[in-house]
Structure 1
Amino acid sequence: MASFWPGGSPAAGVADAPANRGPTQMLDEHRLTPASISKLEVHGAPNTRRALLDHVLGPLVADSAAPGTTLGQVLDRIGDATRKLSRFDIFKEEGFNVFLSEAPRPEGAPPADRTDLEVAINVKEKSRLVFTAGTDFGNAEGSAYTNAIARNIFGGAETLSINASTGTRTRSAYNATFSTPVNNNPGLRLSLEALRSATQKPWASHEERLTGGNVRLAWLTAARDTHTLSYASVWRQLTGLSATASPTVRADAGDSLKSAVTHTFVRDRRDNPMLPQSGYLFRAVSELAGWGPLQGDVSFAKTELEAQSNLPLPLRGASLGAGFRFGLLYPLPTGYSLTGPAQPSRINDRFQLGGPTDVRGFKLGGLGPHDGADAVGGDVFAAGSVSALLPLPRTGPDSPLRLQLFANAGRLVALSTKPSAKAKGKAGKAEGQDRDGLALDSAAVFKSVKSAVGELGNGLPSLAAGVGLVYAHPAARFELNFSLPLVLRRGEEGRKGLQVGVGISFL
């Protein structure tokens, strides 16, 4: 029978195992030898619940009792179990040690047909309370933050994180997140978050304030794909308009309530997310807001797709990459109807395109519809890029510094918001559904979306090319590029010359 002794002392003989017969020697010489686990102990986990350890390590002992189990299989399963424990993020990576020894046999007992093992797993728990302060980098924004983390609160790998930050665009942001594994499974995690933030958006002459919360369920599949399903309810305030704010921005100013369900799928097979040399990425985000039981005063379906592929070149350290993004926002009527009047999208729900981490060679929000100097966003976009990363002389192919040659293009289109007479009549009977008399009936919405998608291929997209330096830091990717806009549509804003990009996701 197996026994789990969290925080206990190793059994006699386990400490001597490396000198007598280490796991590597046993694996090399006797991998096909029949074996089972007679005792398993865990040391160094006094704050971790027994149930969590049993969930991970219990099957290890039970499976070893099956006829035909070999020593090689036992060792492989021990490795899988320790890796699973590390995914709870409550143990130090360097603190894992596994010691094996043969279980003692009674004197004079006949030879056994299999080797009985005693296994001792030593771990080191991470600090339960952590306070950090520093700087953070996201796409086109830097910030200073303070963060307090309470880890393994109830002994089941629960985490409470409280964060406060201020940055170049986000004037203030506060959020508290409680996260816990579901059924002691590190690949299935539930999170609850409350947030409040104020973000300046100078490309559209306003500030957006958010107050709300969300609940997320994230899981990892056997194929190493990640899924995240979330529900969020957020009160949004479009305020702080500048004196030069356009009529479009002023029309959307004020309060709105967004209630939405979002699903995110990610398959990442890149060898290095910050400086990929090979592999591919696929990401799909689908959002449904305001329709059916979701309520709120905005209603739409929104989809965004991203694909990236990287191939190594014959020159060591050199690679060729290509990326593509597509997004579509489809206005929906509120309630359960699919044929009622739908309001056009708001500026804080539309896509923005352009910037040093997006379509390089253009200002933030530089592509797509503008009202005066304001980038008011669009409902349909497509963007693509090709790039080559080359090692610099004297730096070597393993250096995080690369020379980059790139070309990228994009197109952002807004839906037509001219309402039909039929929609005006329906909207007049449905109080609260019409915003400034711009409601569209279902046929008009479909026609407008179809026209906008077709417009993506009408003429050349906005295009830029350039050369620059890329530095891949573990926390973020830094780019210094010289960009030259080659195709610029009327009203769009290019950026000729140097651009600095800092982020974790680049086109």
Structure 2
Amino acid sequence: MASSFGFGGSNAVTKAGTTSVNTAQTHMLDEHVLTPASINSIELHGAVNTRRSLLDHVLNPVVEEAAAQGTTLGQVLDHIGAATKKLARFDIFKEDGFSVFLSEAPRPDSGVPADRTELDISIRVKEKSRLVFSAGTDFGNTEGSAYTNAVARNVFGGAETLSVNASAGTRTRSAYNATLSAPVNGNPDLRLSAEALRSVTQKPWASHEEQLTGGNLRLAWLNENSDTHAVVYSAAWRQLTGLAATASPTVRADAGDSFKSSLTHTFTRDRRDNPMLPQSGYLLRSISELAGWGPLTGDVSFAKTEVEATGALPVSVPGVQGNSGVFVSGGFRMGVLYPLPLGYSLTGLTQPSRINDRFQLGGPTDVRGFKLGGLGPHDGVDAVGGDVYTAGSVNAYLPLPRTGPDSPLRLQLFANAGRLVAINSSTGKKSKEGNRKTLSMSSAAVLKGVGSALSELTNGVPSLAAGIGLVYAHPVARFELNFSLPLVQRKGEEGRKGFQVGVGINFL
């Protein structure tokens, strides 16, 4: 964001964030930065569609901080700069539309000299368009889609945003959602949002499609360390339908309706220099979900946790000064799903996890060299998922000839491995729920099954693949074309020898 600080109507302005100003300005700032100062008045121009109460949350603390004894001009400038950055984070003002002008307030006629300079501050902003319509293509992990989107900004004058989206994709046949979000207590780093959604997703690796109808209530915030947190309550009616003629008994047993009510917390710490192709830095992420237990209703109950850690380091090359363009990266992911009894008990009978809640592993965006869902338990042609998994990857990136060290195009060498294991539910007791036969496990059997699955992760060499390929880091998504060779593959798993195309935003 470029903020401007003008003094007393002078044509000389200092652009915040730039590294050079003229000599006269520098001398003037050095001369006055330690001058005692306070704020007499603040005026904000251009926010015609924004409520006064929202602006007061940002600007009143600036006046109060400047009223403290010993406040200097430099500190006032810092407070004003922080306030304009905060205004920009509401995403209702144009980043290049901020200008701040300072002038000395008229002194009283009493003749008594003031102990510090009183400032009148004028802030000018330009609001973004309130209505935006867009259409185009979007990319997620293993999927591309076409979408239309309508966004209404500053709906009620408090930086609220209403977004309505419709899309159709390669896996998600159709998806519709509407989201209304707003800052909490005038804080752009603390937002509350409500979402309604409906989608139909094909899952050919498990011979079915899933229809989902539900809603989310989300509270997200950014802490002082620039880490993001989000707490989400979700309620979703899931229909597992559209079974193929070759669908396995496992898929057929889970077909039909289920209702999931869950609470999820997501933590993200991202210190990478580029999210699509980082050459340095690291990413830490954790996702914890509790469904169906305690006050949460529904007919599925479990605790589910995933953790992810990735990092990248540049590599110096002898004879090359500065950035060589060569770097290595590594990543690790792990997840555990622990079935729970419904209600408040921890010792009651528990149903095994369903196929639409289990983990899937394998594909061009995680364990390359395997088909989508190619790792882990299979029933016939269907990848039925697992309850515990680990996956890791080591990558080396080299610049192509004549492309330079900063090119988004790279040659990639990789080796990745993974293991996906299901809890053994064969010791469970069969029961009947309506017209559907189910299998129930005791709490002791679940604990033993999870422990056995965790132990199985380290039993023998994991499924392993290596390869070489090209990577292109577009600002919207990352594209990979790899030649992969599975080196270790367990019985029933589906490897992918040869070329594999990956498009996504989050790669292992």
Matches within 5 A, 1:31-430: 31-106=33-108, 109=111, 111-315=113-317, 316=323, 317-420=325-428
Amino acid at match of 2:476: A
CA contact (8 A) 1:18 1:99 kept: no
* Separation in structure 2 between the aligned mates of residue 230 and residue 402 of structure 1, nearest angstrom: 37
* Separation in structure 2 between the aligned mates of residue 287 and residue 92 of structure 1, nearest angstrom: 37
* Residues 198 and 346 (structure 1), Cα distance of their counterparts in 2 relative to 1, 3 Å cut: same
* 1:445 matched residue in structure 2: 446
SS in 1 for 2:58: helix
Per-residue deviation, 1:403? 1.9
Per-residue deviation, 1:438? 1.4
* Separation in structure 2 between the aligned mates of residue 40 and residue 455 of structure 1, nearest angstrom: 65
Deviations 1:325-348 (A, max 9, x none): 000000111111111110001100
Aligned residues: 489
Amino acid at match of 1:218: A
* 1:463 matched residue in structure 2: 464
SS in 2 for 1:469: strand
CA contact (8 A) 2:7 2:102 kept: no
The CA RMSD measured in Å over matched residues stands at 2.0
CA contact (8 A) 1:37 1:118 kept: yes
Per-residue deviation, 1:132? 0.5
Per-residue deviation, 1:113? 3.2
Matches within 5 A, 1:480-491: 480-491=481-492
Amino acid at match of 2:415: A
Amino acid at match of 1:383: A
* Residues 89 and 448 (structure 1), Cα distance of their counterparts in 2 relative to 1, 3 Å cut: same
Per-residue deviation, 1:33? 2.0
* Separation in structure 2 between the aligned mates of residue 181 and residue 224 of structure 1, nearest angstrom: 17
SS in 1 for 2:295: helix
* Separation in structure 1 between the aligned mates of residue 51 and residue 273 of structure 2, nearest angstrom: 35
Deviations 1:84-141 (A, max 9, x none): 1111111111111222222233578454332222222111111111110100000010
* Separation in structure 1 between the aligned mates of residue 383 and residue 361 of structure 2, nearest angstrom: 9
Amino acid at match of 1:248: T
* Separation in structure 1 between the aligned mates of residue 443 and residue 25 of structure 2, nearest angstrom: 67
Deviations 1:194-227 (A, max 9, x none): 0000000111110000001110111111111111
* Residues 480 and 14 (structure 1), Cα distance of their counterparts in 2 relative to 1, 3 Å cut: farther
Per-residue deviation, 1:23? 7.2
1:503 lines up with 2:504 in the alignment: yes
**TM-score, L = length of structure 2:** 0.92
Amino acid at match of 1:480: L
Per-residue deviation, 1:17? 5.5
SS in 2 for 1:368: coil
* Separation in structure 1 between the aligned mates of residue 439 and residue 85 of structure 2, nearest angstrom: 56
* Separation in structure 1 between the aligned mates of residue 128 and residue 410 of structure 2, nearest angstrom: 35
Deviations 1:428-481 (A, max 9, x none): 7xx67x963411000000000000000000100011111222211111111111
* 1:16 matched residue in structure 2: 10
Per-residue deviation, 1:19? 6.9
* Separation in structure 2 between the aligned mates of residue 435 and residue 415 of structure 1, nearest angstrom: 21
Amino acid at match of 2:195: E
* Separation in structure 2 between the aligned mates of residue 182 and residue 45 of structure 1, nearest angstrom: 19
CA contact (8 A) 1:419 1:441 kept: no
* Separation in structure 1 between the aligned mates of residue 73 and residue 246 of structure 2, nearest angstrom: 74
Q: Which moved more, 1:252-261 or 1:317-326?
A: 317-326
* Separation in structure 2 between the aligned mates of residue 70 and residue 14 of structure 1, nearest angstrom: 17
SS in 1 for 2:277: coil
* Separation in structure 2 between the aligned mates of residue 503 and residue 76 of structure 1, nearest angstrom: 40
Query: Identity, % of aligned pairs?
Result: 74
CA contact (8 A) 1:14 1:118 kept: no
CA contact (8 A) 2:7 2:101 kept: no
**TM-score, L = length of structure 1:** 0.93
Amino acid at match of 1:504: I
Q: Which moved more, 1:368-377 or 1:434-443?
A: 434-443
Deviations 1:477-502 (A, max 9, x none): 11111211111111111111221111
Unpaired runs of 5+ residues, structure 1, are 1-11
CA contact (8 A) 2:308 2:331 kept: yes
SS in 2 for 1:59: helix
SS in 2 for 1:445: helix
* Residues 482 and 13 (structure 1), Cα distance of their counterparts in 2 relative to 1, 3 Å cut: closer
CA contact (8 A) 1:419 1:438 kept: no
* 1:3 matched residue in structure 2: none
* Residues 19 and 348 (structure 1), Cα distance of their counterparts in 2 relative to 1, 3 Å cut: closer
Unpaired runs of 5+ residues, structure 2, are 1-5, 15-21, 318-322
Deviations 1:147-171 (A, max 9, x none): 0111100100001110000001111
